[in-house]
Structure 1
Amino acid sequence: MFEEFNALSFDCYGTLIDWEAGIGAVLGPWGRAARPELTDEELLLAYADEEARVERENPTTLYPQVLEEAFRATGAKLGLPVSEADAKRLGASVPDWPAFLDSASALQRLSKRFKLIILSNVDKKSFAGSNARLGIEFDRVITAEEVGSYKPSVQNFEALKKYADGADLKVLHVAQSLFHDHVPAAQAGLKGVWINRRHHRAGWGATPDPGVDVKPDWTFNFMAEFAEAAVPQGSD
């Protein structure tokens, strides 16, 4: 399975790192301090479109500042004040966001057969904290800071393709977000694996509705399942 590929590109946040838990750890206490009935899911839904808008309108802004501005906009949407300390807390929180429990072991397993690439809406400094949680050295890390745009811009996927072509790599893109990843990856001609981390929950959470019908080439609920399919026990 997947024999036509020799490299895997990964979205990081939502796929390898639990960004909903990380964002919710800041938004949850803030929101419920004013309105105790608010759930993390409701706050994530309010936040999702604001982050995407800030990224679209400010493609060269570093991710910590994107988080801060998206938080302020979420507060305005909900009619709740966001202090400068609140905004800074979210902006600085990326290194604290937890990895999904199966991410590190799955990456180690996949690295036995594939080159591993990150294609992420993040800045280099913030990703360094996440990389430490994943416990592996990626062959290439392509950030929004480097490209000068945020997914779902196809520009990010063109940067991935340029690197892959230069390194003679046949890349399969692995991601949770249909909006940020699978729609533009398909437009760029890349095949994809959907890690459906939200399979047990309705709605889109911190990821906007993709707005179009998209069917990834393969679907797994967990990274561990994908790793077993791609590098079966005994094949290494």
Structure 2
Amino acid sequence: MSAAPLPNKPKVITFDTYGTLIDWDGALRAYLTLLFGPDVDVAAFYQRWYYGHALPAVLDEPFKLYRDLLTDTLLAACEQEGLTVTREQAERLGDVMADAPPFADTNPVLDVLRELCPLATISNSQKDILEASAAKMNDPFTFMVTGEVVGAYKPAAPLFERVLELAQAKPDEAVHIAQSQYVDLPRSVPMGIPTIWINRQGQALQPEHPAPTLELPNLTALPRALGLSL
């Protein structure tokens, strides 16, 4: 499958927020370190929680609000690992997500791109969390679509369809910018949306996932890729 080329002037630029614009991984790992202390390999636990519990809950399980998904999957992972955590501590994950800071390159780049065309976010989150994060980014988004709007999570098509409808844009008139090869690329690329993969973690693209139009290590070169400069 060949990814769509970048448009000369997009009608809308859509973003994944967490991991692309907001350092959710860093905030989560810091919180897990606070919970478990120095004797637990937090990086290894994070991998087992995400790939063994959180990602399957997004992809395969009945829809639930994202705060509940975070709580339930952390409790399940801790039970499997023999780690003690209270429900109240697990319920804090939604607040940790809302409090997570933007990456250093996020706000300068968004301030440039918002002059080009409307910006939007398609987020596997929920409204109150996303609004708190948007405030940290100087409220750059004209449109914000979360899982709770359509009762499903990326890579479900309705989230992408909804933001295109709001922006009155065809797939090839948009650009989607995201860090997840698991929930973003498998939907945006087949839909014909030109897609830029922000590969902050230096991951290898898995063969079952479609290649993006462009891969960048961070947001710094994004304005140039879209015909602008900082």
Fold match (TM-score > 0.5): yes
CA distance in 1, matches of 2:67, 2:227: 35
CA distance in 1, matches of 2:171, 2:44: 44
Any conservation in 2 of the 1:109–1:227 contact (CA below 8 Å)? yes
Any conservation in 2 of the 1:173–1:192 contact (CA below 8 Å)? yes
Any conservation in 2 of the 1:120–1:144 contact (CA below 8 Å)? yes
Deviation at 1:122, TM superposition (A): 1.1
Any conservation in 2 of the 1:15–1:195 contact (CA below 8 Å)? yes
Distance 1:103-1:162 versus aligned 2 partners, 3 A rule: same
Provide the aligned length of Structure 1 versus Structure 2.
223
Question: Partner letter of residue 68 of structure 1?
Answer: T
Any conservation in 2 of the 1:164–1:171 contact (CA below 8 Å)? no
Q: Which residue number in structure 2 is paired with residue 5 of structure 1?
A: 10
Deviation at 1:94, TM superposition (A): 1.7
Segment of structure 1 superposing worse, 89-98 or 214-223: 89-98
Any conservation in 1 of the 2:181–2:209 contact (CA below 8 Å)? no
Any conservation in 2 of the 1:17–1:97 contact (CA below 8 Å)? yes
CA distance in 2, matches of 1:192, 1:167: 14
- Secondary structure of the 2:176 match is strand
Q: Which residue number in structure 2 is paired with residue 147 of structure 1?
A: 150
Deviation at 1:2, TM superposition (A): 4.0
* 2:183 equivalent among 176, 180, 184: 180
Deviations 1:18-44 (A, max 9, x none): 1101211222232336xx151x32122
Question: Partner letter of residue 119 of structure 1?
Answer: I
Residue identity (%): 26
Deviation at 1:214, TM superposition (A): 1.9
- Secondary structure of the 2:141 match is coil
How big is the alpha-carbon RMSD for the aligned residues of Structure 1 and Structure 2?
A: 2.4
Mind listing any 5+ residue stretches in structure 1 that lack a counterpart? 204-208
Distance 1:71-1:168 versus aligned 2 partners, 3 A rule: closer
Please say if 1:45 is aligned against 2:47. yes
CA distance in 1, matches of 2:170, 2:139: 20
CA distance in 2, matches of 1:187, 1:167: 14
Question: Partner letter of residue 44 of structure 2?
Answer: E
Report runs of 4+ in structure 1 exceeding 6 Å deviation.
166-169
CA distance in 2, matches of 1:211, 1:69: 30
Distance 1:31-1:214 versus aligned 2 partners, 3 A rule: farther
Deviations 1:113-172 (A, max 9, x none): 121011101111111110111113311111111111111222322223333336999211
Distance 1:187-1:76 versus aligned 2 partners, 3 A rule: farther
TM-score (norm 1): 0.85
Distance 1:181-1:213 versus aligned 2 partners, 3 A rule: closer
- Secondary structure of the 1:69 match is helix
Question: Partner letter of residue 43 of structure 1?
Answer: F
CA distance in 2, matches of 1:62, 1:221: 31
TM-score (norm 2): 0.87
Deviation at 1:69, TM superposition (A): 0.8
Question: Partner letter of residue 58 of structure 1?
Answer: P
Q: Which residue number in structure 1 is paired with residue 3 of structure 2?
A: none
* 2:222 equivalent among 208, 223, 226: 226
Please say if 1:86 is aligned against 2:86. no
Segment of structure 1 superposing worse, 123-132 or 21-30: 21-30
Distance 1:43-1:69 versus aligned 2 partners, 3 A rule: same
Q: Which residue number in structure 2 is paired with residue 206 of structure 1?
A: none
* 2:22 equivalent among 13, 17, 25: 17
Any conservation in 2 of the 1:174–1:192 contact (CA below 8 Å)? yes
